[in-house]
Amino acid sequence: MAIVSTKAIVFSALKYGDSSLIIKCFTESEGMKSYMVRGILKSKKGKLKPAYFQPLTQLLLTANHNNRGNLNSIKEVQVVNPYETIYTSVVKQTIILFLSEVLTGIIKEEEENKSLYHFIETALIWLDTHNSISNFHLLFLLNLSRFLGFYPDASNREALAFNLVEGSFTNSAHEKLVITGGELMSFKKLLGINFDAIHTISFSKKERQVILRLIVKYFELHLDGFKKPKSLDVLETVFN
């Protein structure tokens, strides 16, 4: 067993028994880790508070990592990059719940992936500090695919269609699982940009809904076991 100090992003917190939580975190130093925090829901005096473990909160943890696939334990915790607006905005909270569900379903490895960690960390700070965020989750997912190894190949982007299975542009527009026309135009707007350019893109509610479902489909095709997030419908309702 080793005592480790690392930055961590909370992906989920599940109630265990009457008073405990099982926390899943993506840590900067060792990838995904699960922790048992006993008695946290009953104790008023403990150093650890349930509020620290809200979805996608950014923490600095000191923890015992046992590296045997068992649940680890947290000794100390402090919030880093505390959010100013995420917990007061219904729209931002809904985005956070959606993204935490997606990330929990995708990232499983117990190994360091600093570039992915920093992408998620800086994206969340961006979300907290900006107001023009209605397309944030679309760009987050698309740019996340870069770290997962299936970012769209944009080398032939003048072609008539995009093949979701191949992840590339094509002139064979009659195949299954290709996007064309207005959907293709919307999809292309998101390619190759970062969050600071997101305000230059405007989608109608309908377009945003269609693009989100296309990106989710793209993830389903490229990630074994990825399921359509339950919170997708809630997200669409909030944006309507």
pLDDT per residue as tens digits for the range 82-115 = 999 998 999 999 999 999 999 999 999 999 999 9
> Alpha-carbon Rg of the chain, whole angstroms?
19
Closest to 20 in 3D by CA, of 1, 34, 6, 5: 34
Compute the distance between CA of residue 187 and CA of residue 108 in angstroms, rounded to an integer: 28
Lateral strand order in the sheet of 20-27? 31-37, 20-27, 2-16, 58-65, 73-79
pLDDT per residue as tens digits for the range 16-57 = 999 999 999 999 999 999 999 999 998 777 788 999 999 999
Q: Report the pLDDT value the prediction gives residue 69, as an integer from 0 to 100.
A: 66
Output DSSP code: residue 131.
S
pTM: 0.94
Residue 66 binned pLDDT confidence (cut-offs 50, 70, 90): confident
pLDDT per residue as tens digits for the range 175-208 = 889 999 999 999 999 999 999 999 999 999 999 9
pLDDT per residue as tens digits for the range 159-184 = 999 999 999 999 988 888 999 999 99
For the chain, which domains are there? Answer: 2-79 (2.40.50.140), 90-239 (1.20.1440.120)
Distance of CA 3 to the CA centre of its chain: 27
Closest to 125 in 3D by CA, of 92, 91, 76: 92
Lateral strand order in the sheet of 161-163? 168-170, 161-163, 178-179
